[in-house]
A = this chain, B = another copy of it.
């Protein structure tokens, strides 16, 4: 089967890979659409993401939807031909984290298309993928695969919003209008935020933020003044979602927050340490909270998309055939042109 495989930085190949067998409890899914994630782009540009490096060929892809081809054994709700979104998380289900509602912290997680463990867990930018049955969430007929494939990044955003504590009635800042930032915006609106400000270095994605309901959109290139001004209008932000992964963005946040506020760090940073002004965090009693992937929010995301309660179509920038994956990755790197680029795989 055809797959999008990274062999190292900038060495992306669309090539034949052997399909895995379907073991008991598993299903094979024909992959229809797959979205290119920021981590896919990092693998592409740098041969790794955060602290993890590619050590063997790695099929990318973890934002996918498709149709069930084969089932090892009858499973409640799943039949051959069923359209599904795939949850890329395969937690162990037995560790203390899995048993207390924090599967994203599972000590033995297998996450599609990730170099976090060795051997790597191969991803889903391939004509078919084998997953555990409980990773498949049925979707209604009317829901396009392109939208269903956004369930995964939306789950990341919903999880970040839950990590933020109370959002209803709060002044929210989202730094970075990439896919995750824009979905944090949508999730924060859904959770009842009183006012959401979104920032980015370029105006193009901010136009989309405005279309998606942002109350304020600020270009931060050069002059941070506008943002500081916005912060002071609200006597500081109650909640910030840091979705750039840029050290300078996080470093600027403490002074923009209201006392007692909460920063949720969603974006991953380049490897290494970064500088932070901790005294402001202390004297303002600001919470700095890590948010990593998602847990039950995947099902919640699919339900919201299925019922049309969150509209992700403004972030969809284009669908490219798998054979043009290289072009698609290059296009996805250009944040002035693209938010979420997807591959049409089968």
Listed in ascending order, the chain A residues whose CB lies under 8 Å from chain B are 50-51, 93-94, 97-105, 107, 158, 161-163, 166-169, 190-192, 194, 250-251, 259-260, 265-266, 268-269, 271-279, 281-292, 296-297, 300, 303-304
Are B191 and A259 in contact, CB atoms less than 8 angstroms apart? no
Q: With a CB–CB cut-off of 8 A, which chain B residues contact A287?
A: 287-290
Q: With a CB–CB cut-off of 8 A, which chain B residues contact A190?
A: 168, 192
Are A275 and B278 in contact, CB atoms less than 8 angstroms apart? no
Are A98 and B97 in contact, CB atoms less than 8 angstroms apart? no
> Among the listed B100, B104, B282, which residue makes an inter-chain contact with A265, where contact means beta carbons less than 8 Å apart?
B282
Copies in the complex: 4
A84 CB, nearest partner CB in chain B, Å:
20
Q: With a CB–CB cut-off of 8 A, which chain B residues contact A104?
A: 285
Are A283 and B276 in contact, CB atoms less than 8 angstroms apart? no
Q: With a CB–CB cut-off of 8 A, which chain B residues contact A166?
A: 162
Complex Cα distance A161/B98, Å? 24
> Among the listed B99, B101, B284, which residue makes an inter-chain contact with A290, where contact means beta carbons less than 8 Å apart?
B284
The 6 A-B pairs of least Cβ separation, nearest first, read A100-B101, A273-B275, A282-B290, A105-B259, A288-B288, A281-B290
Complex Cα distance A99/B80, Å? 28
Are B97 and A100 in contact, CB atoms less than 8 angstroms apart? no
Q: With a CB–CB cut-off of 8 A, which chain B residues contact A94?
A: 93
Task: Known pairs A192-B192, A281-B288, A285-B291; list 15 more (Cβ under 8 Å).
Answer: A93-B94, A99-B103, A100-B100, A100-B296, A105-B260, A105-B284, A158-B168, A168-B190, A194-B303, A265-B282, A271-B279, A274-B276, A274-B278, A285-B289, A287-B289
A289 CB, nearest partner CB in chain B, Å:
5
Are A268 and B282 in contact, CB atoms less than 8 angstroms apart? yes
Q: Known: A101-B100, A102-B260, A166-B162. Contact between A50 and B285, CB under 8 A?
A: no
Q: With a CB–CB cut-off of 8 A, which chain B residues contact A291?
A: 282, 285
Complex Cα distance A33/B219, Å? 43
* Residue from the set A94, A103, A289, A304 with the largest chain B CB neighbour count within 10 Å: A289
Q: Known: A168-B162, A287-B287, A292-B285. Contact between A97 and B260, CB under 8 A?
A: yes
